[in-house]
Structures are given as C-alpha cells and as structure tokens.
Amino acid sequence: MRIVIALGGNALLRRGEALSAENQRRNVRLAAQAIAPLAQDHDLVITHGNGPQVGLLALQGAAYQEGEAYPLDILDAETEGMVGYLIEQELIGRLPSGRQCATLLTQIEVDPEDFGFNHPSKPIGPFYPSAEADTLIQERGWSIIHDGDQCRRVVPSPQPKRILELGVIELLLQQQVVTICAGGGGIPVVRLDDGGLEGVEAVIDKDLASSLLARELKADALLLLTDVEAVYSAWPADQARAIRRIAPKALGQFCFAPGSMGPKVEAACRFVEQSGTIAGIGRLQDAAAILAGEAGTLIDREASGIDYWSR
C-alpha cells in the first residue's frame, strides 16, 4: 500500500511544552517509533505540522528592525527543513534494511484571490493570556483567536491547488524512498503572469495539503495523526462518543472545531470521497492500529451508519 501520514503539530509538541530543540527531538523520536514499522510493508509519505515552529520564528523575526523580518513563505521553508531533518534523523535507523529516507522542500500553488487571504484562520506560535493578546493586537496588528482559556495568533491560510514537486515525489517513491514532504502545508506560492513563482504571506493547512497530496499520489490510505484518540461526536459535551467507523456524508452532520479537528475531518472526507479509499484519524502511537481498524476513527465510503467504540 501507499500511505500518506500527516503528523499533527500537537503530536510533535505537546500542549504547554516549551518549544525547545530537546522537546521536539524527543517527540519526533516517539513519532518515528510509531510509524517506522509501517515501512516494512508499505510505501510511506510523511507530512507534518509547523504551527508552533513558524510562529516562534516569526516572533524572533519581530525583534529585527521594521522591514528586516522574513516573510511567512521563507519561514515555512525554514521549518519544513528543520522538522524534516529531525524526522529523517530519527527514522533512518528504524527503517527496514535497504530503505532510505529523504526530506523534500515542497512548493504548493495557491490562488492569489483566495478567500483565506482576507480572513486569517491558521493558528501559529505560542499561546497567550487574553490581556497579552490584546496588547499584541494593538502593537503588532495581529489577528487573534481564543483557544480554550488562552489566545493564539492566526494568519491567512489559502486552499492548496497544486503540488509543484509531485513528479519528484513520485520518483522517490518508485525507488522506495520514505519521503518527507509538504511539511507545514508546504511553501505557499502564486503563479506570476510570466509563468514564474512568488511566495506569499500565508501558512497552508497541513491536513488539507496532505489530502491533496494523497489524492494526487493515488494513495491507498491517509492517516491524520494527532494527540486525540479518535473523532468524537458532540465534543466536548458529556454525551460525546468516540466514532470507530463512518462514511464521509454521515460525518458531515457533526460540527468540529475549525482550528483543530475541523480541518482533519474535512481533509479526510475530501480524500475518501474523491479516491474511494480510506482515511484514519487518531493518536500518533496508534498509527498501525488505526490502519488496521483497531483504534482511532476510520472514514470509509462503504461504511453504513455510525459505528461507535464501546466504552
């Protein structure tokens, strides 16, 4: 099977953890331990989030004089290389004999007229108390959303249209190279009138980019791995139940948080509806079990009704 695995930002950096190299490396090591066994029998493509990392680089850049800070597309490229390097380093010694691993910086084309440019929605960077967030709005002109009892900065997040390095990814997979690509949703670029490319100030949603990648690669499965054991109905109400197996249309009757589970559900449904194969959502450590239908939530066009996990 050909499997696209999307590692969520919360899977690589636990909520409330300091954004240190040591913490990230430790969490990446756990991710590598969970997904490396799948390389024994499957071709793997790995994507990852970058919200905390790109937000930290943006904060560091803000310390420079006005006009010297790097734009988000360059920060996207930096974090794609950084996190890819950590994943590659932790994976390489755990892969089956003879399997290689490579990280590919990936440009993804977006529409310059996309609705998302005027409606920032992608959370990046650390969490802030409400009072500090109000100050940042005044001083830096940031867009801020509430996330629980704290706040986060949000930036434009246009829809991914085209993966420009798709042919290179195909070549790597033909050689059975475990490929890390489209990290952080890829590097957002727009097409110029002369046919050239130009980066834009945005962060593409990693799950939607992973769904597009899985569809274009004709993958057999898409796994969206995070720190939540499954998709829950009616979350966070007391009657919420963990969904075991469900069809995309049935999943559409529920509402999910736009900054967390919402994009994962949307990405999974897009993939399943257009590919006819399966998608899974669940905890990072359950990767193999999710694929086998023994953990997490499977989104399957052939599912009838809603199959819940028994408590």
The one catalytic residue among 55, 264, 282, 296: 264
The one catalytic residue among 51, 122, 280, 282: 122
Active site residue 50: no
Give 174-193 as a 3 state SS string: HCCEEEEECHHHCEEEEECC
CA distances to 53, 54, 242 from 11, rounded to whole Å, are: 13, 16, 19
Active site residue 161: no
User: Do the bridges between strand 122-128 and strand 107-109 make them parallel or antiparallel, or are there none, so unpaired?
Assistant: unpaired
What's at 119, amino acid-wise? H
The one catalytic residue among 8, 10, 51, 282: 10
Residue 176 φ/ψ, nearest 5 degrees = 60, 35
Tokens of 270: 């897009």
The one catalytic residue among 206, 280, 282, 296: 206
CB-based burial of residue 195 (10 Å sphere; 0-12 exposed, 13-18 middle, 19+ buried)?
A: exposed
| Alpha-carbon span 31 to 258, nearest angstrom | 25
| Alpha-carbon span 79 to 74, nearest angstrom | 9
Active site residue 51: no
Active site residue 206: yes
What's at 195, amino acid-wise? G
The one catalytic residue among 9, 125, 185, 282: 9
| Contact between residue 219 and residue 231 where contact means Cβ atoms under 8 Å apart | no
What's at 286, amino acid-wise? D
| Size of the chain in residues | 311
| Alpha-carbon span 203 to 205, nearest angstrom | 6
| Alpha-carbon span 182 to 209, nearest angstrom | 7
List the catalytic residues. 9-10, 122, 206, 264
